C-alpha cells in the first residue's frame, strides 16, 4: 500500500513551530536532523530563528531595564522594609 516511511512526530513542521515558540533556538538540532529539509532550507531556517531569537531577546532586555528604571523611581526615597 504505502511504502513511504511514517514521519516522526518531532519532525513535522507544526511541531517544530510549536517547539520554537516554546523554547526558541533550542529547536535548531531538530531542524538540522530533519531528513526532509535540504541543506539550503536548514541554513535559511537557522538564520531566521537566530534573528527572531535575537530580536525577542533584545526586546526582553529592554523591557526588563524599563521595568527596573520604573521601580527605581517609584521606590526612590521610600524606606526599605525591615
CA 41 to chain centre: 18
The model's pLDDT over 11-62, given as tens digits with 9 standing for 90+, comes to 888 999 999 999 999 999 999 999 999 999 999 999 999 999 999 999 999 9
Under a CB-based contact definition with an 8 Å cutoff, are residues 67 and 52 in contact?
Answer: no
Q: What is the pTM of this model?
A: 0.75
Q: Could you give the number of structural domains in the chain?
A: 1
Please compute the mean of the pLDDT values over residues 57-77 and round it to a whole number: 88
Q: Is 19 part of any domain?
A: yes
In a domain, 82, yes or no: no
Distances (CA, A) of 31 to 17, 23, 76: 10, 14, 48
Note whether residue 57 is domain-resident: yes
Q: Which of 21, 25, 29, 43 is nearest to 10 (CA)?
A: 29
Amino acid at each position: 500500500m504505502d511504502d513511504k516511511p511514517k514521519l516522526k512526530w518531532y519532525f513535522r513542521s507544526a511541531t517544530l513551530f510549536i517547539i520554537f515558540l516554546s523554547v526558541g533556538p533550542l529547536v535548531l538540532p531538530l531542524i538540522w536532523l530533519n531528513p526532509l529539509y535540504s541543506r539550503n532550507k536548514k541554513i535559511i531556517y537557522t538564520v531566521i530563528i537566530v534573528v527572531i531569537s535575537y530580536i525577542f531577546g533584545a526586546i526582553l532586555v529592554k523591557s526588563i531595564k524599563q521595568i527596573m528604571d520604573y521601580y527605581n523611581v517609584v521606590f526612590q526615597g521610600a524606606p526599605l522594609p525591615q
